[in-house]
Chains A and B, each alone.
Chain A
Amino acid sequence: MAKSDDCVHILQGLLVFGNVVIGMCGIALTAECIYFVTDPYGLYPLLEATENNDIYAAAWIGIFVGFALFALSILGIIGVIKSDKTLLLVYIILMLITFAFEMASCITAATHRDFLTPNLFLKQMLERYQKSDPANNNDQWMIEGVTKTWDKLMLQNHCCGVLGPSDWQEYTSAFRVTHSDADFPWPRKCCVLDAQGIPVNLDGCKLGVPGYYNSNGCYDAISGPMNTHAWGVAWFGFAILCWTFCVLLGTMFYWSGIEY
């Protein structure tokens, strides 16, 4: 009798501990996803224009799942301490629903990260940057987003194009339609600019003299934050789910042993 009592107490203790961890991880997940949704690097317009912004949807789901995990962990702690069969059944079912949502979020984030290749951004930049004849309002909105984002990217990261300034030479583009090749082998933002935003040496920039133009591509500046975002949502969520799996199994075992 005493031994069984001890087992019960140990199991209860473990379950309470498990739920506390779930609660804290839920808060952490919410905080992390809010950080990603605020888009600190300003890359959201690029994703919006690719019509492939599902890693943001995954982050939004993560916010709500985090809250749900926190609330359910409190419910679980109460249910375990009171050994209430009904409460624990509700807890298990709601946790399974939350598990399903978080699973969807992780898989979405991981899958859509694989779509974000350099070619995707290259094609979008060539087709939309400084395009002068928008097809409709939606197109106009995307063009503005892409142009502003690329200008900011090239200015802040001292880079040009996706893989380098040669992107503008290797392919025709919407930019090329309005800006002649002789005057603008690449956009002015690719030049080294002074404090007023004027190229330090315009001829040097047009010739491509090292030191007067940005020779790196911007892909690293784009993929770095996106990788952090996608893997942060996907793998942290995965870790939480593994832990939740163990806690839920323990709770099911505990539930089936409660005698009225």
Chain B
Amino acid sequence: HPHSHPRHPGACTMLPLLLLLLPTAHGIVEHVDYVPFLVKTPTLEGLTTASTFVLEQPRCLFNKYSNVDIWLVVALEQTASKFNNSVEPGTPESAFQLFPDPVPAYMTLNATLANYPCPKPNGEITVLRVGSETSCARDMARYSCNGPLPGPGPYKVKFLALKGSKPVAETNWSQPIMLRTAKSPSSITTMDRGHSAGMIALTTILSILFAILLAGLVAMLIFWGSDSCGGSSTFSKPEAVTVRRYNTHHVYDQPAARL
């Protein structure tokens, strides 16, 4: 193409025009300034699990293109730089099953602009769950499988728009996405023996009461054995007999000679 020293003023407008034609002519990929991110609303419990994560859908990004396929590129943080945009999807070079070794990044979740209508209707949850297809994880016939991720990461993703099989636009790489690592249940401690105050009080008081009762029983039996101190406070039995005084009739001896 012509370079340096344009002689006539028309060349100043010619250059930008030519540069506009260049991407379609020579395959330079346009950069869309968008960073893919994990879903923010609504709050999802399963935003990241041990082998999946959930991305916000790329709405209203690639609308100026027509007839593009939008692919998701998933790479490890350290292999993201090795990814070449000209790798074609559905081939062993971008196969999920061969990720991460030897393939540095795989391409999956193929969609068209019709799948991502713009603008986004209110109230709809627009998500992409990366790692949800378990059936094709080992199926070598489906290189673009959205299979469960093989490790905790960290992962980086970006969206790539392809026309035919040529890349026309890409987004930025996302921030590193770290997945959850599960601990073993044997690490759970169950032996924290904190005795509650109630239990200690209950035990103490009951022990004291029982000790007093035993002492009382022993004292009782000892004093039963010795007859001495039993008589201080005696209770009479209910059927106690009381002596009643009775009058004795005096027989007066009347002289019989009163005749």
- Chain A positions within 8 Å of B, measured between CB atoms, are 1, 4-5, 7-8, 83, 92-93, 96, 99-100, 103, 106-107, 110-111, 113-115, 117, 119-120, 122-123, 126-127, 165-166, 169-173, 176, 180-183, 185, 203, 206-210, 213, 215, 231, 234-235, 238, 241-242, 245, 248-249, 252, 254-259
With A1-B236, A83-B237, A238-B202 known, 19 other A-B pairs at CB within 8 A are: A4-B233, A7-B235, A103-B210, A107-B202, A114-B199, A119-B188, A119-B190, A169-B50, A171-B184, A172-B182, A181-B148, A183-B134, A207-B46, A213-B45, A235-B202, A242-B209, A248-B213, A252-B217, A259-B235
Range for the number of chain B residues in contact with chain A? 35 or more
**Please, which residues of chain B bring their CB within 8 A of the CB of A106?**
202, 206
Please tell me if B121 contacts chain A, counting CB pairs below 8 Å: no
Q: List 13 A-B contacts (CB under 8 A).
A: A107-B202, A182-B51, A182-B52, A182-B133, A206-B132, A207-B45, A207-B127, A208-B45, A210-B42, A238-B202, A249-B213, A256-B220, A256-B223
Asked whether B58 is an interface residue with its Cβ less than 8 Å from the other chain, the reply is: no
Contact, CB under 8 Å: B49 / A169:
yes
> What is the CA–CA distance of A166 and B202 in the complex, to the nearest angstrom?
38
* Complex Cα spacing A203 to B183, Å: 26
**Are A208 and B213 touching (Cβ within 8 A)?**
no
Q: Is B180 an interface residue when CB atoms closer than 8 A count as contact?
A: yes
A99 and B220 in contact (CB under 8 A), knowing A117-B190, A181-B52, A207-B46? Answer: no
The secondary-structure label for the interface of chain B is: loop
Given the known A-B contacts A100-B210, A206-B132, A234-B202, are A111 and B195 also in contact in the complex, defined by CB atoms under 8 Å? yes
Q: Which residues of B contact A (CB under 8 A)?
A: 42-47, 49-52, 54, 125, 127, 129, 131-134, 148, 180, 182-190, 192-196, 198-199, 202-203, 205-207, 209-210, 212-214, 216-217, 220, 223-224, 230-231, 233-238
Known contacts A171-B183, A171-B185, A182-B52; is-contact A4 B236 (Cβ 8 Å): yes
Asked whether, in the complex, the Cβ of B44 is within 8 Å of the Cβ of A208, the reply is yes
How far is the CB of A225 from the nearest CB of chain B, in Å?
Answer: 18
Q: In the complex, what residue of chain A is closest to B198 when comparing beta carbons?
A: A110
By the criterion CB–CB under 8 Å, are A258 and B209 in contact?
A: no
Bound form: Cα–Cα A245–B212 in Å: 9
Taken together as a complex, chains A and B put the C-alpha atoms of A96 and B211 apart, in Å, by: 10
Residue of A with least CB distance to B43: A210
CB closest chain-B residue, reference A249: B216
Chain B residues contacting A258 (CB-CB under 8 Å) are: 235
Closest Cβ neighbor of A256 among chain B residues: B220
Residue of B49, B132, B230, B238 with most partner-chain A CB within 10 A:
B49
* Complex Cα gap A66–B3 (Å): 106
- B235 and A83 contacting across the interface, CB-CB below 8 Å: yes
Complex CA distance for A208 and B47, rounded to whole angstroms: 8
State A103–B208 Cα separation when bound (angstroms): 11
CA distance A108 to B54 in the complex (A): 50
